[in-house]
Chain A
Amino acid sequence: MGRYVIRRLLQMVPVFFGATLLIFLMVNVMGDPIAGLCGERACDPATEAQLRQEFGLDKPLWQQYLTYMGNLFTGDFGTAFNGQPVIDLMADAFPITIRLTLVAIVFEIIIGISLGVVTGLRRGRPVDTSVLVLTLVVISVPTFVTGLLAQLLFGVKWDLIRPAVSPEAPLDELILPGLVLASVSLAYVTRLTRTSIAENTRSDYVRTAKAKGLPRRRVISRHLLRNSLIPVVTFIGTDIGALMGGAIVTERIFNIHGVGYQLYQGIVRQSSQTVVGFVTVLVLVFLLANLLVDLLYAVLDPRIRYA
């Protein structure tokens, strides 16, 4: 197991550098990294030359990338458009996005799995069909539409919540945004659980469990669920990274000052340091979440052994 983790971590290294290099190139080749540094105006030529030298922008790109990465590992993510260190922005933004992601995952687990189990055990019945149709609709409607509609209904029409989340983003204000963020994944979790349950219900070991005279509740909870949830847990694990990346849309709709908001600001103000920094961290989260899932798999399914 230890060796497997090390091998996987080593495999992640080229992917990490490849992805960050790609982003770095995109930002630097296509945008002007100092364009935003002099506030709203364009910089005068003297300042510009000075800034270019200061940031090492007169050097070749590959050297810039190496310098950037070197700084990054000492915790220096550079400076944002307003002169604030990017790391400070992260310290503000990440806790909020992580909180939002957690709310979303809790919804996925509670609602998604329960619906999946209920429909999986009652396949072909009206409950099953209606939930299936509902999941298809949720998957089809883009998140930003779902979000805007939810905001319109709950925030404006029924006045149940504040349409915009306050800057501190307390947990109770994140419930609706979390549900919106979770919606598509939630539908996938429901479908995946349903399929998995339905498949395992017919399995030989469930028949054995019945033949052993176990009560139905125990057959389901101990034998059926334990096996059926393995792919579901995997999906939810992979989703952690995807949710944090996808939070941009949700944060935009509900005006949440998280990672997506900062990234968006960075892009609008052409602050390359902010964009590259945030994206780098997100890519890292994404890759680590995938590794975590693989390890979790081994814990849940004893048949999997990593050499």
Chain B
Amino acid sequence: MAPTGQGGAMDFAMDESETLEKTPDGPEGTGPAEKPRSLWSDAWHDLRRNPVFIISGLIILFLIFISLWPSAIASGSPLDCDLSKAQQGSQPGHPFGFNGQGCDVYTRVVYGARTSVSVGILATLGVALLGSALGGFAGFFGRGWDAALSRVADIFFGIPVVLGGLVLLSVVTSSTIWPVIGFMVLLGWPQISRIARGSVITAKQNDYVQAARALGASSSRMLLRHIAPNAVAPVIVVATIALGTYIALEATLSYLGVGLKPPTVSWGIDISSASPYVRNAPHMLLWPAGALAITVLAFIMLGDAVRDALDPKLR
């Protein structure tokens, strides 16, 4: 997915490969000799004591909880509106006030989480599966497949995301979340496929993989046992950060009127319909905007923390 005003997750994932508190050049061998741990248990060890990870993880768990059981914290229905209360501010039982149609803003914000989280997770899953499958395939078989796939990926990279979304989704009439997810997978896979391809090519050159090949391991066995585990970590890192950007992208498209459509409850739609009244009733815009910002922030911070923990270059 091409970097746009929304920021490509790719750049974000790559922008910091620094060593934070490396021991200075002078005294080598100062590190205590600890027994080596696997990449994953090492990462988990680091993550457990990282406050950024804990905070963002808790926010995300909460978001997933209210996505599954929104009625646990919001009693009404998001579609239960009373025009006579339109644009009214906060009042007992309705802490966030009412929107332009007189719907309860609090209930809509809670139900909006379900939409955002499902779009984010499903789009990320789709992108990760399609991207790693295609990228892994290209990297493993190389040559013609690789060249062809790289060119196709270039074409999709050549289309700015919001632009592509406007063109492609403007003709869709379905009010489900599937067209938006499909669009994200369609434009998002090259980002993951490049990473998967790179990891597979690196892994293929490892001595132990060459040895397995010399011993006559079959292609599928090599892919699954030796190569795939190497590609998983970078894909997970980029996918986590991308999840946040997909949520932002859904809201942006919905704001532009081409993403989700009512009666689906979406923060982007609510922000869009609130924006003309921002002068008189800013609360209608601020609550869903705040929820959106916190959600995206949580996923990006989580991805950031996971990247720091998983990137062996940082040690």
Contact = CB atoms under 8 A, between A and B. Distances in A.
Do any CB atoms of chain A lie under 8 A from CB atoms of chain B in the complex?
A: yes
A38 to B, nearest CB: 19
A224 interface: no
Interface in B1-45: 2-8, 11-12, 15-19, 22, 25
B252 A143 contact: yes
Pick from B17, B151, B252, B271 the residue with the most CB of A within 10 Å: B252
Interface stretch (A40-48, A62-70, A215-223, A238-246): A238-246
Contacts of A239: 3
B293 A16 contact: no
Interface in A125-153: 136-137, 139-145, 148-149, 151-152
A252 interface: yes
A14 B151 contact: yes
B109 interface: no
B248 to A, nearest CB: 4
A27 B278 contact: no
A140 B158 contact: no
Given A145-B293, A242-B3, A30 B162 contact: no
Interface stretch (A52-60, A76-84, A187-195, A294-302): A187-195
Given A18-B152, A249-B255, A264-B166, A143 B5 contact: yes
Given A145-B293, A156-B278, A242 B158 contact: no
B265 interface: no
A19 interface: yes
B248 A142 contact: yes
A201 B8 CA distance: 27
Contact of B300 (A31, A136, A192, A252): A136
A238 B10 CA distance: 13
B129 interface: no
Contact of B278 (A151, A184, A243, A247): A151
Interface in B266-286: 271, 275, 278-279, 282, 285
A286 B293 contact: no
B215 interface: no
B297 A283 contact: no
A144 B8 CA distance: 16
B304 interface: yes
Given A15-B151, A151-B278, A267-B167, A23 B159 contact: yes
A282 interface: yes
Nearest to B297: A140
A292 interface: no
A149 B292 CA distance: 13
Contacts, number: 169
A263 B7 contact: no
Interface in A83-114: none
Max chain A C-beta neighbours (<10 A), residue from B3, B155, B158, B289: B158
Contacts of A235: 11
A279 B240 CA distance: 30
Contact of B170 (A22, A31, A151, A184): A31
B5 A188 contact: no
Contacts of A31: 170-171
A151 B289 CA distance: 14
B296 A195 contact: no
A144 B163 contact: no
Contacts of A253: 275
Contact of B271 (A144, A188, A198): A144
Contact of B167 (A16, A141, A187, A275): A275
B170 A142 contact: no
A119 interface: no
Given A239-B3, A245-B163, A144 B18 contact: no
A151 B278 CA distance: 9
A195 B5 contact: no
B235 interface: no
Contacts of B11: 188, 192, 235
A282 B285 contact: no
B158 A287 contact: yes
A198 B155 CA distance: 35
Among A26, A156, A243, A250, the one with the most B-chain Cβ atoms within 10 Å of its Cβ is A26
Contacts of A247: 5
Interface of A: 14-16, 18-19, 22-23, 26-27, 30-31, 136-137, 139-145, 148-149, 151-152, 156, 181, 184-185, 187-188, 191-192, 195, 198-199, 202, 235, 238-239, 241-250, 252-253, 263-264, 267-268, 275, 279, 282-283, 286-287
18 contacts: A22-B155, A139-B12, A140-B296, A142-B293, A143-B5, A144-B255, A149-B289, A151-B278, A152-B282, A185-B7, A191-B16, A242-B160, A244-B160, A248-B166, A249-B255, A250-B5, A263-B163, A283-B160
- Which 5 A-B pairs have CB atoms at the shortest separation, nearest pair first? A245-B160, A246-B5, A140-B297, A18-B155, A30-B171
